[in-house]
Amino acid sequence: MSSGKGGELIPSSSELDLDRPNIEDYLPSGSSIHEPLGKLRLCDLLDISPTLTEAAGAIVDDSFTRCFKSNPPEPWNWNVYLFPLWCCGVVIRYLILFPVRLAIELLESNIELFTACNVYAPDLVGSLYFLFQRALVELICSFFVASWTGVINYHGPRPSMRPKQVFVANHTSMIDFIILEQMSSFAVIMQKHPGWVGLLQSTILESVGCIWFNRTEAKDRETVTKKLREHSQGVDNNPLLIFPEGTCVNNQYSVMFKKGAFELGCTICPIAIKYNKIFVDAFWNSRKQSFTMHLLQLMTSWAVVCDVWYLEPQNLRPDETPIEFAERIRDIISVRAGLKKVPWDGYLKYSRPSPKHRERK
């Protein structure tokens, strides 16, 4: 670990490569295999062509796939002494804790319904209505966290409402927003979802200034950029919250940050989120699991344990480009949360590499 400009910690290249497997470990040694003289072995074939060596290394060191792979806790109910305790835990979690948490979730749903219909605020106007909506959204998120028995440790000063200020955080699940929103109201930039999540987005969350987009629509990007600039200049607007990775990563790695948030000319406030997997893996793999099933997984666990760090605000340096600024912020978040940086674009999770990348390779 070394110290860069401004005193921030920057992981050395040797530390970033600790997770990289050595392809030679996957090749058979000469003493372990007895083959006829003159027979071509894999290690000889790889020595012939650097391209083959690189291809084999990519198969062994698939750091992109590992960014989106769930890592559940190791099973501990493997013997006759521990198995009865595990069975007792299943009974407690599913027959006692889950019904209580479900009741909390149903209560939260009623609050959402009243908020959507504005039942309690027909005569509130101006700043009173704004404060009322903020308080209700924070209350709803608090009920969500309670339904998982969330144990959240917040470190650093609480966010405040200031113009030209943007908060950015690493992204593991949609519950990242819920955990941050219960502490302070943010206007989040988020993918538009279908179903009941989409209903919440178009009713409850729009009241605090959240902005939605569809990553498959090119026109949405221009619209969102315009809305970001307008929102960031507002004095009374909720602070912007952006997840610049653009997709959920498994809380062990950090993929490339999109530069959009770093081109607004605003102060960037990094937030590092780290989940403890002692009870449950909070990573949401949206390609394999719906958000409803993800919530059920959290609600049937013992607890969701998480640490949140509000880090020192950063500004663009005179000799720095937005891309370099984004990379510096990623360094700060990765070091604080203990994440391994990888040079991948998270959007490759949803699409094939572009032809120009393949041509350049």
| pLDDT, tens only, 77-119 | 777 888 888 899 999 999 999 999 999 988 887 776 666 655 4
pLDDT at 35 over 70: no
Please tell me the predicted confidence (pLDDT) of residue 260. Answer: 84
Q: Which amino acid is at 333?
A: I
Please tell me the predicted confidence (pLDDT) of residue 298. Answer: 93
Contact 12, 6 (CB under 8 A): no
Q: Where does residue 277 rank: exposed (0-12), middle (13-18), buried (19+ CB within 10 A)?
A: middle
Q: Where does residue 334 rank: exposed (0-12), middle (13-18), buried (19+ CB within 10 A)?
A: buried
Please tell me the predicted confidence (pLDDT) of residue 74. Answer: 74
pTM of the predicted protein model? 0.76
What whole-number distance in Å separates Cα of residue 270 and Cα of residue 268? 6
What whole-number distance in Å separates Cα of residue 257 and Cα of residue 129? 35
